[in-house]
Amino acid sequence: MTEHIVVVGGGTGGTVLANRLAERLGPEFERGAVDVTLVSDDRNHVYKPVFLYVPFGEKTVADAKRPLADLVDREITVEIDRVEAVDTDRKRLDLRDGGRMTYGHLVLATGTGLVPEKVPGLAEGGHHFYGPDGAAALRDELATFTEGHLVLSVIGTPHMCPAAPVEFVLMADDWFRERGLREDVEITYTYPIQRAHGIQSIADWASTTFEERDIRLETFFNADEVDPDAGVLHSMEGKELDYDLLVGIPPHAGSDLVTAAGLGDDGWADVDRHTLESPHAEDVFVVGDLADVPTSKAGSVAHYEAGTVADRLASRVRGQVPTATYDGKTVCFIESGMDEATFVEFEYGTQPTVRAPSKPIHWAKLGYNESYWLTARGLL
Amino acid sequence: MNDSDYDPDVTIDSRDATCPGPLMDLIGKVKEAEPGTVIELRTSDSGSKSDVPEWLDEAGHDLLDTVDNGDYWSLFVRTN
């Protein structure tokens, strides 16, 4: 009997997972004991961390994209289609173009989407760097921004890559200094809670660095409305902030598929945080941003989760008891300017140490961004 | 189970939460919730006992109860 595994989503989680399965289950593929189908509605794989560099002209939107077919092992069947519904009782998927597909095991890895329209005025008045169009538009805006008040506001909770907003303002500070414009540009960073970041050690480091670099920190600020005509940002705490250029990290959404299939009540999928298995349906796993686990929505998380699920699925296919678990491992490089960076590493329940930023760590981040394509192939 | 009199409409399990942390998890749910929703935030971060009331005070929501469950706390919140 052939075990049919379906992976939905061609981002970091889905692609690493499919390739790890191909690697782990070589003999089983050879004798027809398993087949794996990767369903994605995008022919391209997109590596989102590249978008942080686009506004500063360091990377292009095209650098973030490669054809999925070039990254996925030849043992994997790639279907370009969109899953419209998941029926976990019948173990069946409804596809937009291709009818229906049954599965033995299902992994959802569809990621998160941006929903700026949830905050009135944000789509019209705000910029962001969390997608290709937003990053390209912000590049054009920054290129002609020579004076005024740049406000970066963290609005979406949760949002992808929780360190990226800190990185953006530190890079912007450095970028404007290099161009001799910093005296004429005021920079403010707003954050929803009473410190600069959710993790205390990162918040402490960011606050000190902001002070040294003359970046104003506004805490307890949850923007709930943007007035693009007046250039004013309003918060649910009753505060107002004038801006000339607003970079607003937009609200994020999970997937309607999750809610409709009863896998979570607000678009984010409930999972066991160590096995990534759904408590609501048999043989369903969720990895990456879509999974509601108490750590970052970050590429490294999707990567490590995918490794765990691949190992658990491989054990099941071989008739063994799965023992691999995910411990919350998260690794994030944090740029502290245009040519220095630091990095943090932590697991569930631990606090990272923020090391002193350095040029070699910045080079390591740039180097990793290139070698990421080996990660997507399941090699690194 | 817990010892509180409150029956939450929504439960957020932020035990052992790392990044970005229990209060950010709570804010995300509060933004989506209708007024009058009772939310239970489970947290193993002792800092939440001061962080959460401070934010609720700023944002105008109510802390109903804090229950010590031994290895984690349950903070019951009502949105306004």
Q: Do B24 and A266 touch (CB under 8 A)?
A: no
Phi, psi of A323 (to 5 degrees): -125, -15
Confidence (pLDDT) at A253: 95
* Topology (CATH) of B10-78: Translation Initiation Factor IF3 (3.30.110)
A130 in B contact zone (CB under 8 Å): no
pLDDT by position in tens, chain A (length 380): 899 999 999 999 999 999 999 999 999 999 999 999 999 999 999 999 999 999 999 999 999 999 999 999 999 999 999 999 999 999 999 999 879 999 999 999 999 999 999 999 999 999 999 999 999 999 999 999 999 999 999 999 899 999 999 999 999 999 999 999 999 999 999 999 999 998 889 999 999 999 999 999 999 999 999 999 999 999 988 899 999 999 999 999 999 999 999 999 889 999 999 999 999 999 999 999 999 999 999 999 999 999 999 999 999 999 999 999 999 999 999 999 999 999 999 999 898 999 999 999 999 999 999 999 999 998 87
Do B18 and A347 make contact, defined as CB atoms within 8 angstroms? Answer: yes
Co-location of A92 and A137 in the same domain: no
Residue A224 sits in the same domain as residue A298: no
Q: Which of these, A226, A232, A204, lies nearest to A217 by C-alpha position? A: A204
Check whether residue A174 and residue A240 sit in a common domain. Answer: yes
Predicted complex ipTM exceeds 0.95? no
Q: Does A237 touch chain B (CB under 8 A)?
A: yes
Question: Which residue of A112, A190, A193 is the best one to mutate when testing the B interface, meaning the one whose CB has the most B CBs within 10 A?
Answer: A193
The answer to whether residue A340 is domain-embedded is no
Asked if residue A231 is part of any domain, the answer here is yes
The answer to whether residue B1 scores a pLDDT higher than 70 is no
Residue in chain A closest to B20 (alpha carbons) equals: A198
- Token readout for A361 is 């760590």
CB contact under 8 A, B27 and A198: no
Q: Which of A194, A220, A350 sits opposite B18 (nearest CB)?
A: A350
Q: Which of A251, A269, A293 is the last residue of a domain?
A: A251
Q: How many domains does chain A have?
A: 2
**Contacting residues of B for A157, CB less than 8 Å apart:** 20, 24-25, 27-28, 31
Chain B contact probe: residue of A118, A154, A157, A295 with most B CBs at under 10 A: A157
Q: A305 near A324, Cβ under 8 Å?
A: no
Nearest CA in chain A to B31: A157
Same domain, A233 and A124: yes
pLDDT digit string, tens, across residues A210-237: 999 999 999 999 999 999 999 999 998 8
CATH of the domain at A289: 3.50.50.60
Q: Which pLDDT score, from 0 to 100, does residue B2 have?
A: 53
Whether the full predicted model's pTM is greater than 0.80, yes or no, is yes
Q: Both A121 and A54 in a single domain?
A: no
Write out chain A residues lying below 8 Å of B17, CB-based.
Answer: 294-295, 348
Instruction: Please check whether residues A180 and A236 belong to one and the same domain.
Output: yes
Domain ranges of chain B: 10-78
Residue A187 belongs to what domain range?
Answer: 115-251
Q: Which amino acid is at A246?
A: L
In a domain, A262, yes or no: yes
Residue B4 has a pLDDT of 78
Task: Check if B19 is active-site.
Answer: yes
Residue of chain B whose alpha carbon sits nearest to that of A272: B13
Distance in angstroms between the alpha carbons of the first and the last residue of chain B: 25
Report yes or no on A190 lying in a domain.
yes
Residues A147 and A23 in one domain: no
SS (H, E, C) chain A: CCEEEEEECCCHHHHHHHHHHHHHCHHHHHCCCEEEEEEECCCEEECHHHHHHHHHCCCCHHHHEEEHHHHCCCCCEEEECCEEEEECCCCEEEECCCEEEECCEEEECCCCEECHHHCCCHHHHCECCCCHHHHHHHHHHHHCCCCEEEEEEECCCCCECCCHHHHHHHHHHHHHHHCCCHHHEEEEEECCCCCCCCCHHHHHHHHHHHHHCCEEEECCCCEEEEECCCCEEEECCCCEEECCEEEEECCEECCHHHHHCCCCCCCCEECCCCCCECCCCCCEEECHHHEECCCCECHHHHHHHHHHHHHHHHHHHCCCCCCCCCCCCEEEEEECCCCCEEEEEECCCCCCCCCCCEHHHHHHHHHHHHHHHHHHCCCC
Q: How much is the pLDDT for A379?
A: 82
Please check whether residue A167 lies inside any domain of the structure: yes
B13: chain A residues, CB-CB within 8 Å: 294
